[in-house]
C-alpha cells in the first residue's frame, strides 16, 4: 500500500520549512557571531542542515529569533570548550581527553535508565560525585552527554527532566558555585529544552536562599521547578510523586550513588560512534578539516585557521635559506621538505570540493608544493618592518592575495591615518 501523507502532515512540513527560512534571516541580523561564521566556513552543510536547525527551533518552542541567538551562543561556547578543530563537527568520546572522560565516567551527570511518567528522559546531576581536574573537564563532559541526547527525536519534542541531587553536599563551596554559574550559561546555549527541574537538598542553611531564588526566577521557571528538602528517603518519595520512579534513581539505601547505567549507555554510544566513523572513511570527501590541515583559499578565515598559521611559521623558519637558493631544483627541495613536515603531523592540503558543497578534498602533492612556493613569493613581496605603534590587526594581510606594496600602503593609510606616513616610508625601503 502506497503511503499517502495527510494534509495536516504536509502543512506541518511546510510550516517547518518556513520557520527554517525565517531562522536563517534572523541569523543574518545578528552582528556579533564570529564563532558561528567560523563554523559555517568549515562546514556549511553541517551548520545549514535542516535537522540541526530544527533542534534549536524546538528548544525555543519554534521561535526563530530566540533559536538563532541560541545557535550563535552554542557555537561560541563550543569554540571556547573544544577549539576550532571540533567547532563544526559532532563531539564524540574520542574528542574528549582523559580528564574529560574521567569526569564523564564519574557519574556526576547521567541519564536514568527509565523515563518519567510522561515519557521524558531524566538527567540526574549528582553533586556528590563531582570529581574533575578542571572546570573545563566537567563542562566538556556535560556538553557531550547533553548533545548525545539532543539528537534523539523524542528528546527534542518533549525535552528533559533535570534532577539536581545535592544530598550530603555543601553547596556554598566555591567550586560548586563556579560550576553552577558556567552550567547556567551553557544550558541556554545547547539545543535541548528543560521541561521541568527538581532540586533536592538537605542543608537547612540553604532554605532562606532557595526560597529567595524561587521568588525571583519568574513565573514560567517557577511553574516548571520543584524543590525537595529532606533526607534521601524523603526526596526519593517526593520525586516518585512527580513520575520519577525510585528504582530508576542511582541511589542505594545507604546513600551511595552508582553509575552502572551510565557506563552501559556510554559503551553503546562508543560502538555507534565507531561504526559511523568507519562509514565516514569510505566517503572520499572530507567533512571536517583538522587543525593540522592547510586550507587552500583566500581571505581571513583561511589565514586564521590553525594549520595555515603553522605553515606560515614553517615558511618563516625556511625563508632565509629559500631566498639564498638560486636554483629552481633547490627551492623545490625546500618545498618538499616543508610538505613532509606537514604530512608527518597528519596534516593535509585541502581545498573546497566543487562537486560536494560544504565538503573538502585533498589536493595533489604538486598543488601543495605550488601553495608552499606561492607563500614564499607572496610573503616576500608583502612583508616589511612593522612600526611598533601600528596595531597588529592593521598589519594583517592575505597570505594568498597578490597585493602590491603601493596598494598595501593605501590600505594602511586608510586604516590608521596616525601612522600612515611612517608605514609608507617603511614600505618604500
Query: pLDDT by residue (tens digit) across 21-30?
Result: 999 999 999 9
C-alpha 404: how far from chain center: 38
For the chain, the straight-line distance linking the first and the last C-alpha, in angstroms and rounded, comes to: 81
Residue with cell 526519593: 236
Cα dihedral: 82, 87, 92, 98 (round 10):
-20
Residue 373 pLDDT exceeds 60: yes
Span 213-227, pLDDT tens digits: 777 777 777 888 999
In whole angstroms, what is the distance from residue 124 CA to residue 149 CA?
13
Which residues sit opposite 165 in a β-bridge? 126, 200
Task: Give the residue with greater pLDDT, 391 vs 313.
Answer: 313
Q: What is the mean pLDDT of residues 33-58?
A: 92
Which pLDDT score is estimated for 280? 67
The C-alpha atoms of residue 266 and residue 259 are separated, in whole angstroms, by: 11
Residue 122: enclosing H or E segment and its boundaries?
strand 121-126
How many Å apart are CA 81 and CA 385, to the nearest integer? Answer: 36
| pLDDT grade for 174, boundaries at 50, 70 and 90 | low
pLDDT score of 44 more than 50: yes
Region for residue 313 given its phi and psi (left: phi exceeds 0; alpha: psi -120 to 50; beta: otherwise): alpha
Average pLDDT over residues 336-356: 87
CB atoms within 10 A of CB 94: 10
Quick one: three-class SS letters along 53-110? HHHHHHHCCCCHHHHHHHHHHHHHHHHHHHCHHHCCCCCCHHHCCHHHHHHHHCCCEE
Q: How confident is the model at residue 381 (pLDDT cuts 50, 70, 90)?
A: very low
Tell me 247's DSSP state: G
Task: Give the pLDDT band (50/70/90) at residue 12.
Answer: low
Q: How far is CA 52 from CA 47, 222, 423, in A?
A: 7, 29, 47
Does pLDDT of 394 surpass 60?
no
pLDDT (mean) for 327-355: 87
Q: What is the pLDDT of residue 3?
A: 47
- Cα 252-255-258 angle, rounded to 5 deg: 55
Higher pLDDT, 285 or 162: 162
Note the Cα 204 to chain centre separation in Å.
39
Grid cell for residue 112: 536514568
Collapse the DSSP code of 304 into the 3-class scheme (helix H, G, I; strand E, B; otherwise coil) and give the result: coil
Cα 428 to Cα 66, 376, 377, 423, distances in angstroms: 52, 20, 18, 9
Q: Which residue has the higher pLDDT, 158 or 223?
A: 158
Of 36, 25, 92, the closest CA to residue 65 belongs to 25
Q: What is the pTM of this model?
A: 0.74
Looking at residue 195, its pLDDT comes to 92
Strand partners, 121: 160
Q: What is the pLDDT averaged over residues 45-67?
A: 92
pLDDT category at 299 given cuts 50, 70, 90 is confident
* Average pLDDT of every residue of the chain: 81
- Are 39 and 75 in contact by the 8 Å Cβ rule? The answer is yes
**Beta pairing, strands 294-295 & 225-229:** unpaired
Residue 98: Cβ-neighbour burial (10 angstroms; 0-12, 13-18, 19+): exposed
Band of residue 401 on the pLDDT scale cut at 50, 70, 90:
very low
Amino acid at each position: 500500500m502506497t503511503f499517502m501523507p495527510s494534509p495536516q502532515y504536509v502543512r506541518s512540513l511546510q510550516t517547518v520549512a518556513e520557520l527554517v527560512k525565517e531562522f536563517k534571516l534572523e541569523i543574518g541580523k545578528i552582528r556579533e557571531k564570529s564563532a558561528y561564521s567560523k563554523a559555517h566556513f568549515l562546514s556549511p552543510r553541517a551548520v545549514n542542515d535542516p535537522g540541526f536547525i530544527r533542534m534549536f527551533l524546538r528548544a525555543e518552542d519554534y521561535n526563530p529569533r530566540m533559536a538563532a541567538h541560541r545557535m550563535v551562543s552554542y557555537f561560541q561556547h563550543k569554540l571556547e570548550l573544544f577549539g576550532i578543530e571540533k567547532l563544526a563537527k559532532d563531539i564524540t568520546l574520542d574528542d574528549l581527553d582523559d580528564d574529560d572522560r574521567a569526569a564523564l565516567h564519574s557519574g556526576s551527570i547521567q541519564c536514568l535508565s527509565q523515563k518519567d511518567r510522561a515519557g521524558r528522559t531524566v538527567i540526574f546531576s549528582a553533586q556528590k560525585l563531582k570529581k574533575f581536574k578542571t572546570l573545563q573537564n566537567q563542562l566538556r563532559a556535560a556538553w557531550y552527554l547533553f548533545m548525545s541526547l539532543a539528537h534523539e527525536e523524542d528528546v527534542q519534542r518533549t525535552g528533559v527532566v533535570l534532577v539536581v541531587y545535592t544530598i550530603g553536599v555543601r553547596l556554598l563551596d566555591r567550586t560548586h558555585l563556579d560550576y553552577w554559574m558556567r552550567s547556567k550559561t551553557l544550558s541556554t546555549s545547547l539545543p535541548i529544552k528543560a521541561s521541568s527541574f527538581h532540586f533536592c537538598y538537605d542543608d537547612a542553611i540553604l532554605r532562606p536562599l532557595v526560597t529567595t531564588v524561587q521568588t525571583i526566577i519568574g513565573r514560567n521557571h517557577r511553574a516548571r521547578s520543584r524543590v525537595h528538602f529532606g533526607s534521601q528517603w524523603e526526596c526519593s518519595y517526593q520525586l516518585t510523586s512527580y513520575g520519577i520512579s525510585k528504582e530508576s534513581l542511582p541511589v542505594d539505601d545507604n546513600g551511595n550513588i552508582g553509575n552502572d547505567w551510565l557506563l552501559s549507555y556510554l559503551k553503546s554510544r562508543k560502538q555507534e560512534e565507531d561504526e559511523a566513523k568507519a562509514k565516514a572513511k569510505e566517503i572520499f570527501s572530507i567533512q571536517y578539516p583538522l587543525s593540522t590541515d592547510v586550507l587552500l583559499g583566500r581571505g581571513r578565515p583561511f589565514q586564521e585557521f590553525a594549520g595555515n598559521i603553522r605553515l606560515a611559521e614553517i615558511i618563516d623558519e625556511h625563508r632565509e635559506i629559500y631566498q639564498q637558493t638560486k636554483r629552481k631544483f633547490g627551492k623545490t627541495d625546500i618545498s618538499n621538505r616543508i610538505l613532509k613536515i606537514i604530512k608527518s603531523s597528519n596534516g593535509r592540503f585541502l581545498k573546497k570540493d566543487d562537486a560536494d558543497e560544504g565538503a573538502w578534498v585533498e589536493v595533489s602533492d604538486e598543488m601543495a608544493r605550488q601553495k608552499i612556493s606561492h607563500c614564499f613569493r607572496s610573503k616576500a613581496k608583502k612583508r616589511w618592518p612593522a612600526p611598533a605603534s601600528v596595531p597588529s590587526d592593521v598589519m594583517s594581510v592575505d597570505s594568498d592575495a597578490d597585493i602590491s606594496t603601493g596598494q598595501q600602503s593605501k590600505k594602511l593609510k586608510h586604516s590608521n591615518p596616525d601612522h600612515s606616513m611612517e608605514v609608507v616610508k617603511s614600505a618604500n625601503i
